[in-house]
Amino acid sequence: MTTQTSTPNTPATPTANTPTGLIGIPPHAGRALATAGGALTVVSTFLAWTWTSEFPGDLTYYGYPGGLQVLVLVAGALTTLFALSSYGVRGLRWLTPAGADAAIKLAALAAFATTWYTVLAISLELGGLVNLEPGAYLAATATLLALLGALALPFERPEPDPIDPDETGWARFQHNAGHTWQTVKAAFTSGTPRAVPPLSSYAEILIIVGILSLALVVFTYGIGTGYDELFVGFLITAGFGFAALNKSGLIAQASHITARHQNITVCGAFIAAACFPFTQTDDQYATLGVYILIFATVALGLNIVVGLAGLLDLGYVAFLGVGAYAASLVSGSPSSPFGVHFPFWAAVLVGAIASLIFGVLIGAPTLRLRGDYLAIVTLGFGEIFRIAVNNLDGTSGPDLTNGSNGISSIPDLTILGFDLGAPHDIAGFTIGRFANYFFLMLAITAVVVLVFRRSSDSRIGRAWVAIREDETAALAMGINGFRVKLIAFALGATLAGLAGTVQAHVTYTVTPEQYLFAGTTPPNSAFLLAAVVLGGMGTIAGPLIGASLLFLIPNKLQFLGDYQLLAFGLALVLIMRFRPEGLIPNRRRQLEFHTEDDAPAVLSKTGA
């Protein structure tokens, strides 16, 4: 009987026990095919894909990618870089600290899906394959080859060494990167692996600046997509691209670095957001920006109730309506029966205090309920609020809210002589009405983020988490459950009312139909709850990102008509299937949805 022996420094050869991919190509040949296909995909984007400019984006140029070609270029470049990283190319090893195979698969899938979607769209809209130029054929072939090569890569990865969960983020990065490099080195080269030098604090801060800059570019590109085909391609590339970066380990490492410099990250995020209006030439997309901020701020307030305290509130949008109605009644609207015009600060206080009062009044008799019973009661409150303001028209009830017509002609805000309804020139840039409200809403979002951070890190915040995890155990430890839950309910309602005061002035009109439990467009209670769960319960960035996606995607998918909600719902199901803990989860949520073996590799120190 003979045995085969091998040394770590000899190239790996396929054996009966070698992990294989989905197809019969050897893994080393598949890796080479994926690399070549990714490189050819990049080359194809510099060629013309069609001979006519009738297709949106004008894909007729040579040497200059445009429209959907830019997205294919990004996906092809990711595929190539991940593939080269798997070979241990100097300077690229840091791209795949958690392994390259899964990242190559997803990046190749992003390039393939975006390319073939573009090719099919050109053929269908222009009338056949005859409208395709050689660049399109090359792109379709290259992405197919890259995908086949990626599918040949093994689905099993070498088990990593045990990781100390108390390690710092960068120490864990060194651990993963060193392990991956040793594996690659043993498979493809010979010699001694080199350790990755640690980064200084200044280098990590530069990385944070790069991450925020990239986030601003991606958001600006997504919100500024000028036609439907480009937005669909953006969703495909961004979705699979994010999944590829997550599988490579870069998302986890980025979260570790940002957690080490949390204050700098938060300040930098607001600075990046403040730059958004200056990237727009008119108010078309700044309008979406201010509505996204309103929706995101309300979602962050709901995150206190649901994410921290664990109270399922299905009527939370009613508190947004209470703040909006209260502010509109005292802001000088001719539809208001009071006939008063409070200054901005007074109107904000009225809206916030009104929501606070309603939060206490609703929470006091209902928060002794738990689970589904509490959800049903809050759902009823949301419907009662909408029906009540609809009947306060002077016919069915007192003349207070003007019924279904709502409070209209709400004047623009004026703060210290600065009229937010008029355009202003700042440093050579013309800032329009919606950009002015964007900056105001950004300041309010900063206040809400500060309140969320301080309250979640406080004694009351720890009590909320204890109530959420096990209310019976928390009560046994001496926590006053009713008082703690009432504080969470009241604080969440106050933050929603604060955002409602700005919403009333941005929309000019407040009507009952704006505050439904469910509808085709946010804000409504169903979308708010989905934003918290999708983004990541108990975190700051999670609901902000989740709300941005849930507001932007339905707005851009209106061309689908009756199939809009079907496509949107399918996307949510897929996201929650493959990312059940949310896009930006905290440590506890990841422990709930991952096994003990793989949890330490994805956990972060903080959920912020």
- pLDDT tens, residue by residue, 109-133: 999 999 999 999 999 988 888 888 8
pLDDT tier for residue 21 given thresholds of 50, 70 and 90: low
> For position 590, what pLDDT does the model report?
63
Residue of 276, 249, 300 whose CA lies nearest to 536: 300
For residue 483, being part of any structural domain is answered with yes
Q: Do 188 and 273 belong together in one domain?
A: no
pTM above 0.85, yes or no: no
| One-letter-per-residue 3-state SS of 457-518 | CCHHHHHHHHHHHCHHHHHHCCCCHHHHHHHHHHHHHHHHHHHHHHHHHHHCCECHHHCCCC
What's the mean pLDDT in 414-436? 77
Q: Are strands 418-419 and 414-415 parallel, antiparallel or unpaired?
A: antiparallel
pLDDT of residue 182: 44
Alpha-carbon distance 583 to 14, whole Å? 37
Q: Which helix (H) or strand (E) holds 206?
A: helix 201-223
Judgement on whether residues 338 and 418 belong to the same structural domain of the protein: yes
Q: Which two tokens stand for residue 382?
A: 């949301």
Residue 526 falls inside a structural domain: yes
Query: Does 117 lie in the same domain as 47?
Result: yes
504 in Cβ contact with 327 (< 8 Å): yes
Residues forming a β-bridge with 360? none
Crossing angle of helices 228-248 and 68-86, in 10° steps, is 10
> Is 43 a domain residue?
yes
Are 374 and 480 within one domain? yes
| Residue 294 belongs to some domain of the structure | yes
- Determine the average pLDDT of the residues in 70-84: 92
Q: Which residues are 407's β-sheet partners?
A: 510
Spatial separation of the C-alpha atoms in residues 470 and 369, rounded to whole Å: 14
Query: What would the two tokens of residue 193 be?
Result: 């692996």
Q: Which residue has the higher pLDDT, 603 or 304?
A: 304
Do residues 567 and 426 share a domain?
yes
Q: Convert the pLDDT of each residue in 211-236 to its tens digit.
A: 989 988 988 888 888 888 898 899 89
Do 71 and 137 belong together in one domain?
Answer: yes
**Residues 370, 310: Cα–Cα separation, whole Å:** 10
Query: Count of CB atoms within 10 A of residue 51's CB?
Result: 14
| Residue where a domain terminates, one of 146, 176, 209 | 209
pLDDT band at 152 (very low <50, low <70, confident <90, very high): confident
DSSP 3-state of 59: coil
Name the domain count of the chain.
2
Band (167; pLDDT cuts 50, 70, 90): very low
Are residues 201 and 268 part of one domain? no
| Domain interval for residue 501 | 261-593
**pLDDT > 90: what percent of the chain?**
13
Report angle CA 226, 227, 229 to the nearest 5 degrees: 135
pLDDT at 311: 83
- pLDDT tens, 242-299? 889 988 888 888 888 888 888 888 898 889 888 888 877 667 777 888 888 888 888 8
CA-CA distance, 9 to 186, in Å (whole number)? 5
Cα(234)–Cα(219) distance, integer angstroms:
11
Q: Which residues pair with 132 in a beta bridge?
A: 50
Q: Are residues 66 and 200 in the same domain?
A: yes
- Say if 600 falls within a structural domain: no
Q: What is the CA radius of gyration of the chain?
A: 27
Is 253 a domain residue? no
CATH classification at residue 309: 1.10.3470
Separation of alpha carbons 319 and 358, rounded Å: 8
Instruction: Outline where DSSP puts E strands in 223-335.
Output: none
Are 280 and 460 contacting, i.e. CB atoms less than 8 angstroms apart?
Answer: no
Q: Is residue 532 part of a domain?
A: yes
Tell me whether residue 73 is in a domain: yes
Please check whether residues 202 and 270 belong to one and the same domain. Answer: no
C-alpha 469/C-alpha 542 separation (Å) is 19
If you average pLDDT over residues 145-172, what whole number do you get?
61
* Average predicted confidence (pLDDT) for the chain: 79
Q: Nearest 5°: phi and psi at 362?
A: -80, -40
Same domain, 360 and 287: yes
> Do 283 and 204 sit in the same domain of this protein?
no
Average pLDDT over residues 419-442: 79
**Is residue 70 located within the same domain as residue 204?**
yes
Nearest Cα neighbor of 162 from 591, 593, 606, 600 is 600
Q: How far apart are CA 345 and CA 599, in angstroms?
A: 47
pLDDT exceeds 70 at position 11: no
| pLDDT for position 521 | 65
